[in-house]
């Protein structure tokens, strides 16, 4: 079978869906290669910083590793800006959505919220509320996100 026999999902057979599930499993297994390709594409995005987004991502992950973060946080630091090209106004949410099935909830939350937490480091210079993150002040992972941004994300740009 090269493709399914239906054009409407409610017309699919068990064989069609078994075929699709096998293709989906192959697709999911290839995700790391697609993520690496997406990271590599960051090399040419968001001009104006002293380093490109790929270098920033690598530096963030290296800082996390040097601080003895666990592998989930290191991977989170590596892909935290992956959404910059496709979702520049909500890149944090896109990156979190990608990583959420593979990491603990804390890491996904940190990646999802790092954009608003990052504003603490530049908000005054842009005339925006640097303390917007304070709405999460009582959240269990506030300190973790603050550390992520302060120690790994905001320097070396």
Question: Which string of DSSP letters, residue by residue, matches 95-140?
Answer: HHHHHGGGS-HHHHHHHHHHHHHHGGGTHHHHTS-TTGGGGGTTST
- Domain extent for 40: 31-153
Which residues have a Cβ under 8 Å from the Cβ of 58 and sit 6 or more positions away? Answer: 78
Tell whether pTM > 0.95. no
The answer to the question of residue 16 being in a domain is no
Domain contains 122: yes
Look at residue 147 and tell me if it is in a domain. yes
- pLDDT in the model for residue 144: 98
Q: Is residue 10 part of a domain?
A: no
* Number of folded domains that form the chain: 1
Q: What is the pLDDT of residue 156?
A: 65
pLDDT truncated to tens, each residue of the chain (157 aa)?
799 999 999 999 999 999 999 999 999 999 999 999 999 999 987 788 889 999 999 999 999 999 999 999 999 999 999 998 899 899 999 999 999 999 999 999 999 999 999 999 999 999 999 999 999 999 999 999 999 999 999 986 6
User: Which residues, in sequence order, are CB contacts of 91 under 8 Å at separation 6+?
Assistant: 81, 82, 83, 84, 115
């Amino acid at each position: 079978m090269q493709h399914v026999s239906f054009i409407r999902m409610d017309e699919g057979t068990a064989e069609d869906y078994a075929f699709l599930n096998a293709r989906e499993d192959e697709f999911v297994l290839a995700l790391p290669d697609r993520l690496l390709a997406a990271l590599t594409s960051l090399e040419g995005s968001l001009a104006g910083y002293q380093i490109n987004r790929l270098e920033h991502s690598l530096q963030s992950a290296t800082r996390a590793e040097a601080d003895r973060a666990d592998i989930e946080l290191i991977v989170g630091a590596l892909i935290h800006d992956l959404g910059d090209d496709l979702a520049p106004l909500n890149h944090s949410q896109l990156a979190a959505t990608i990583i959420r099935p593979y990491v603990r909830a804390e890491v996904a939350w940190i990646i999802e919220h790092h954009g608003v937490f990052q504003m603490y480091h530049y908000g005054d210079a842009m005339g925006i509320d640097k303390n917007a993150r304070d709405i999460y002040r009582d959240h269990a992972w506030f300190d973790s996100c603050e550390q992520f941004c302060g120690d790994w994300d905001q320097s070396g740009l």
